[in-house]
Amino acid sequence: MAGNNQKQKVEGQKKGNKKPSKFGLINSISIAILILFLITSFYSIIADQNTNTKNIALSDLVHDIGMGKVTEVTVKGDDLIALYSDKTLKTAKKEVDSSVTETFTRYGLTPEKLNAVKINIEGPSGFSFWLIQVAPFIVPILFLALLVWFMTRQVKGAGMQAFSFGQSKARITMPDDTKEKVTFKDVAGAKEAKQELAEIVDFLKNPKKFLEIGAVIPKGILLMGAPGTGKTMLARAVAGESNVAFFAISGSEFVEMFVGVGASRVRDLFKMAKQVAPAIIFVDEIDAVGRVRGTGVGGGNDEREQTLNQILVEMDGFEPNEKVIVMAATNRPDVLDPALLRPGRFDRRVTIDLPDRNDREEILKIHSTKKPFAEDVVLRVIAERTPGFSGADLYSLMNEGAILAARENRTKIAQYDLVRAIEKVMLGPERKSHLLSKKEKEITAYHEAGHALISSVLPFADPVHKISIISRGRAAGYTLHLPLEDRKMQSKKEFLDDIAVSLGGYVVEKMMFNDVTTGPSNDLQVSTSLARDMVTKYGMSEKIGVLALEGSGGRAMFGKGVDENVFSEKLASDVDAEVARIMDEAYKKAEDIVTTHKSALDAIAKRLIEVENIEREEYESIIIAHGIQPKKKLDIEHSV
């Protein structure tokens, strides 16, 4: 198995990786000083080895020899060690650069006296001697080197993960790290994406099989999808499934650095990955570095371009058998540089859609482990009520539900908690403290009733699930519409009805109170931009025709920056006229409905003022009483 020796190879790095560098600058200096202290004391111990003998002046020694007290003199370097007849040892220093006999005769010893003493010459030898000679020069150098070493360690400090790879900021997950391991089982739904990625897993597990048959292995895989759909999770799962090292770095981490460093981090990252191959390099949010180059947008960030170029160079430089796969994730594939998408780079593209009803239920199930549920919990209903929720939203829904239950001191999460959590995730927490005045309450009630009524009457609008005049987040009240089914596409008719529904609040305020508040400003923004998109993006205006005047990202349609104003002024004013016409027609449509069904509007608004929240059942009974047929119920609600 390839995995086995793999593990051993990376063991050392893992240790380096796990140990976070905790040394502050002060700490490293004090450690350096401590080491210096140890070295010097060691040095002095060795140097003082023979100082338990008594030191005497050279003249005294000469005198003692003259007196015949000394039997033996050992010369050791510049030291003279004298053995006295009473067996004591005394040392003296000889004159530098002259021999013993010379020294002694100069001090007036007669040759006869000198002959009576045995003189041993011991070469200046031994480890300690050399240490003593060399230490004065070595120690400060050693000290400086240590200091420099600690300081550079310090500079790299925060981002340093693996000792020899100081530059790259990547977080590394090793295959034997079971705690952080994610597998496909942890990712609910996303079947197509998982199928595509299973092939990559297969390759990483058995590269030989593919290489022997001459297959070229994909180098780059781009995961595309809305925020929170589990892109990061899936990338981790590929590594987890195939048991390879996983290097994760985010695009913005490249960007925040100084000129030149981004590119060198890329180089380091790839070098590192090749050393432990097979491996996955994961660049999260790659649009932060991978935006179209040379558009001058955002001041033409040179650093970003260099980083991107380096990524491309590295990917081109892969040998086919290098067994390193680059994965990247983005929720803005439209702004990516076309060079990234060229064959041989990120040529595999995996789209991760928002989860559909079944997937949502699966995701909820995954996140409900370890959460005690009351009997009445039916996750299917929650999944039903959360179209458009991403995996991350569902995760936080579960969490909010648990928090709500805990706040009310219950030990189990009830369905009611989860239902409330939906709204909390969707719209922000309730602002009970934000009390509306009587007048405000009335206006808000009529405003929301307007939205609701119009969406019940128009055939292509979504049915109403709940109306509320309790403020949440920035909204004073809200009307919850849920589509009958998950949909990937929207038609022109739906758009037109949606615009009319958005205008409903505005229309009613004007009609009822002959005045307009600041309340509908967001409604107007949303509906106007929808109308503009219909004209300029989707070709839904007969007058303008099949012209897409804007790329999905607003530019970069053809692999180069598209000027915002490529079209003529005539066309621009035609577009404006079309948008105005759509808005106008929607307004009239809304006004018509509100006038025809005035009694229903009043009934809904009055009830809202009384109870502040109207749920679907009650709402439908009100409109039925006024002769409006509610939209077909979702089958799920029958079954519960």
* Catalytic machinery residues: 448
Count CB-CB contacts under 10 A for residue 103. Answer: 20
Under the binding rule (CB under 5 A), the answer on residue 523 touching Zn ion is yes
Which is closer to Mg ion, CB of 232 or CB of 368?
A: 232
Give just the sign of the alpha carbon dihedral 629, 634, 635, 639: negative
290-329: contacts with ligand ADP (CB under 6 A): 329
Integer Cα distance of 465 and 630 in angstroms: 11
HSE toward the beta carbon, residue 39, CA cutoff 13 A? 19
Are 135 and 43 contacting, i.e. CB atoms less than 8 angstroms apart?
yes
Are 255 and 222 contacting, i.e. CB atoms less than 8 angstroms apart?
no
> In whole angstroms, how close is the CB of 197 to ligand ADP at the nearest point?
13
Lay out the site mask for ligand ADP across 364-383 (x = CB under 6 A, - = otherwise). --x-----------------
Find the helix or strand (DSSP H, E) in which 311 lies: helix 302-316
The residue number with the shortest CB distance to Mg ion is 232
Token pair of 226 as six digits? 């809305």
Token pair of 191 as six digits? 């079947």
Residue in the block written with tokens 């035609």: 574
> In whole angstroms, how close is the CB of 223 to ligand ADP at the nearest point?
8
Which is closer to ligand ADP, CB of 225 or CB of 262?
A: 225
170-209: contacts with ligand ADP (CB under 6 A): 187-190
189 binds, among ligand ADP, Zn ion, Mg ion, none (CB under 5 to 8 A by kind): ligand ADP
The residue number with the shortest CB distance to ligand ADP is 391
Which is closer to ligand ADP, CB of 187 or CB of 421?
A: 187
233 binds, among Zn ion, ligand ADP, Mg ion, none (CB under 5 to 8 A by kind): ligand ADP
Residues contacting 128, CB < 8 A, separation 6+: 46, 47, 49
378 binds, among ligand ADP, Zn ion, Mg ion, none (CB under 5 to 8 A by kind): none
Which is closer to Mg ion, CB of 333 or CB of 505?
A: 333
> In whole angstroms, how close is the CB of 223 to Mg ion at the nearest point?
9
Residues contacting 179, CB < 8 A, separation 6+: none
Residue 225 pairs with which residues in a beta bridge? 352
488-507: contacts with ligand ADP (CB under 6 A): none
Give just the sign of the alpha carbon dihedral 562, 567, 572, 578: negative
Which is closer to ligand ADP, CB of 194 or CB of 555?
A: 194
Q: Residue 430 gets which letter from DSSP? A: B
Integer Cα distance of 252 and 332 in angstroms: 14
233-292: contacts with ligand ADP (CB under 6 A): 233
Integer Cα distance of 395 and 379 in angstroms: 13
Which is closer to Mg ion, CB of 328 or CB of 496?
A: 328
Peptide bond into 278 cis (omega under 30): yes
Lay out the site mask for Mg ion across 201-240 (x = CB under 5 A, - = otherwise). -------------------------------x--------
Residue in the block written with tokens 């009822």: 512
Lay out the site mask for ligand ADP across 541-580 (x = CB under 6 A, - = otherwise). ----------------------------------------
Q: How far is CA 258 from the centre of its chain?
A: 19
Maximal C-alpha separation, the chain = 143
Lay out the site mask for Mg ion across 81-100 (x = CB under 5 A, - = otherwise). --------------------
Are 139 and 38 contacting, i.e. CB atoms less than 8 angstroms apart?
no
Q: Which stretch binds Zn ion (CB under 5 A): 147-155, 306-314, 515-523, 602-610?
A: 515-523
374 binds, among Mg ion, ligand ADP, Zn ion, none (CB under 5 to 8 A by kind): none
505 binds, among Mg ion, ligand ADP, Zn ion, none (CB under 5 to 8 A by kind): Zn ion
Which is closer to Zn ion, CB of 220 or CB of 504?
A: 504
Instruction: Output phi, psi for 74, to 5 deg.
Output: -105, 130
> In whole angstroms, how close is the CB of 365 to ligand ADP at the nearest point?
9
Type of residue found at 587: Y
Q: Which residues bind Zn ion (CB under 5 A)?
A: 505, 523
Q: Which residues bind Mg ion (CB under 5 A)?
A: 232
Q: Which residues bind ligand ADP (CB under 6 A)?
A: 187-190, 225, 227-233, 329, 363, 366, 391-392, 395
